[in-house]
């Protein structure tokens, strides 16, 4: 008897703070990641959902883990990744952060305008380095130009099985939209241009394509 597929999904933005009241982030609303979680629940998968700060309710039935920063996302991913069958990294990670975070609010007159930044560690690449045989890894490429080139590059550099690419400059497919249009690239070379639809419809189509690649040796303990 096989056990349910265990799916780890990340969603929403991360924030990187200059001081306790100022941060840098992105416009991600978490809608696509939450749609993936809902589709996985509908498919009777077990869902661990790591979410950045969003204003939408999580799908009922998901195990929710709330994070704010990239470091928190990295830690929680490494804690949960070993037990998942498939990781879907949909979170919009802020990939840089201030080199120094001030413990108190910086006053305007003493603000340092030449701010130094440092990269946030590549979470997907780090997880890929510790993946077990049979684990499936899916990334997202939210781009505004040369989408196919950047998506294929990320697929290879991060050693993923799949990458989902979309043009976030489009009003019907970008951050905050209720619909999405994506292209799916596979490690094995296939490309799938999915039909536009609501984010839940697109999520269901994606999971249907991921499912056959999951390890067939999952058995209940």
Catalytic residue among 26, 63, 114, 166: 26
Exposed e or buried b for every residue in 198-214, given b needs 16+ CB within 10 A? ebbbbbbbbbebbeebb
Read off the pLDDT of residues 88-135 as tens digits, 9 standing for 90 and up: 999 999 999 999 999 999 888 877 778 899 999 999 999 999 999 999
What pLDDT score was predicted for residue 220? Answer: 40
| Confidence label for 216 from pLDDT (cuts 50, 70 and 90) | very low
> C-alpha dihedral over 92, 163, 182, 172, to 10 degrees?
10
Residue identified by tokens 């413990």 is: 103
Read off the pLDDT of residues 46-55 as tens digits, 9 standing for 90 and up: 999 999 999 9
* pTM metric for this prediction: 0.94
Contact 40, 94 (CB under 8 A): no
What pLDDT score was predicted for residue 173? Answer: 84
Active-site annotation holds for 114: no
What pLDDT score was predicted for residue 110? Answer: 77
Average pLDDT in the 167-195 region? 91
219 pLDDT above the threshold of 70: no
44 pLDDT above the threshold of 90: yes
Please report the domains of the chain, with CATH numbers, ordered by start residue. Answer: 6-105+117-213 (3.40.50.10300)
Mean pLDDT of the chain: 92
């Amino acid at each position: 008897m096989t056990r349910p597929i265990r799916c780890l999904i990340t969603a929403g933005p991360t924030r990187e703070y200059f001081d306790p009241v100022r941060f840098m982030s992105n416009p991600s609303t978490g809608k696509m990641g939450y749609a993936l979680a809902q589709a996985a629940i509908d498919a009777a998968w077990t869902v661990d959902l790591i979410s950045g700060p969003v204003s939408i309710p999580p799908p009922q039935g998901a195990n929710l883990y709330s994070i704010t920063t990239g470091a928190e996302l990295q830690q929680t991913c490494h804690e949960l990744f070993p037990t998942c069958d498939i990781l879907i990294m949909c979170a919009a990670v802020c990939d840089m952060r201030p080199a120094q975070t001030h413990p108190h609010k910086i006053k305007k007159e003493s603000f340092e305008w030449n701010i130094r930044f440092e990269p946030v560690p590549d979470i997907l690449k780090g997880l890929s380095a510790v993946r077990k045989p049979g684990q499936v890894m899916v990334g997202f490429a939210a781009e505004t130009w040369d989408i196919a080139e950047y998506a294929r590059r990320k697929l290879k550099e991060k050693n993923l099985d799949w990458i989902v690419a979309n043009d976030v400059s489009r009003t019907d497919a970008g951050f905050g939209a209720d619909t999405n249009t994506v292209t799916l690239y596979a490690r094995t070379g296939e490309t799938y241009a999915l039909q536009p639809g609501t984010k839940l419809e697109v999520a269901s189509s994606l999971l249907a394509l991921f499912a056959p690649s999951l390890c067939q040796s999952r058995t209940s303990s």
